[in-house]
Amino acid sequence: AAGVIQSPRHLIKEKRETATLKCYPIPRHDTVYWYQQGPGQDPQFLISFYEKMQSDKGSIPDRFSAQQFSDYHSELNMSSLELGDSALYFCASTRSGAVNTEAFFGQGTRLTVV
């Protein structure tokens, strides 16, 4: 079965550069969540989208922005990167309207800022 696809899997950027992370949800999933997981930490919710509209916002820095496109894939844009942005970024997708659906996670993008 198709899973949540994230690209790239690994990314190395220098400080003050920009990065774009992509997430392709499972077919027919209309809700995407982005999480940031620092070393040894639990996933921190960044932002979510439902039907191409932002549905909830967590601890996402102003330097980051995200959107969901018509094909339901989502992109997380990160500018003016800082060393502290180094983390594993997960996206997860669910199907809303189907009550109590589980979330499927991608394998994550490991971002290293040097």
Partner 1 sequence: GQQVMQIPQYQHVQEGEDFTTYCNSSTTLSNIQWYKQRPGGHPVFLIQLVKSGEVKKQKRLTFQFGEAKKNSSLHITATQTTDVGTYFCAGHGNNFNKFYFGSGTKLNVKP
Positions touching partner 1 (CB under 8 A) are 31, 33, 35, 40, 42-43, 45, 48, 50, 55-56, 90, 92, 94, 96, 99-100, 102-108
Nearest approach, Cβ of 99 to partner 1 (angstroms)?
7
CA torsion sign for 13, 73, 53, 99 is negative
Nearest approach, Cβ of 107 to partner 1 (angstroms)?
5
Nearest approach, Cβ of 89 to partner 1 (angstroms)?
11
Backbone angles phi, psi at 83, to 5 degrees: -55, -35
Report the C-alpha gap between 44 and 89 in whole angstroms.
9
Instruction: Look up residue 75 and give its two tokens.
Output: 């992109």
Residue placing its CB nearer to partner 1 in the complex, 14 or 102: 102
Residue 85 three-state SS: helix
